[in-house]
Amino acid sequence: MTRHYPLILAILLGPTILAPAANAQDAAAGQRLARRWCSACHEIGRAPVHNDVSPSFAAIARMSSTTAMSLNAFLSTPHQRMPDYSLTRQEIKDVSAYILSLKQEGKSPASAGTNN
């Protein structure tokens, strides 16, 4: 009977291990949300921001304090100068993933740890 444990475990756990996480963050979905809800005040791409009130997403991404956790906390709480869009948890994860992807794009190959 003990010989069958690995097979039983593979059958039971295989689908959960091999299937993508249902709540995985999606930077592309976050970019679409940012275009729809955030672009009126923030520059969401790489272009320079044209106002002094709202930082660009690229500038936010470059802040040393910007992490998935800090973005989650910030986007989960209302702020005086920001509209309350009441984003879902998944939308918050997606927008956070998009902002963090800008941090990765901004790294030079040497600082990103890849050499050409």
Residues in the chain: 116
pLDDT digits (tens, 9 = 90+) for 25-76: 799 999 999 999 998 888 887 666 666 788 899 989 999 999 999 999 999 9
Tokens 């991404």 correspond to what residue? 61
First to last CA, the chain: 53
- Rounded distance between C-alpha atoms, residue 40 and residue 70, angstroms: 22
Residue 1: inside a domain:
no
Q: Is the confidence at residue 113, as pLDDT, over 70?
A: no
User: Residue 71 in contact with residue 97, Cβ under 8 Å?
Assistant: no
Residue 38 vs residue 84, higher pLDDT: 38
At 16 the pLDDT is 44
What domain range is 86 assigned to? Answer: 23-105
Using a pLDDT cut of 70, give the percent of the chain over it: 64
Residue 54: which CATH number?
1.10.760.10
- Reported as a pLDDT band with limits 50, 70 and 90, residue 116 is very low
* pLDDT of 112 higher than 60: no
Would 111 be classed as within a structural domain?
Answer: no
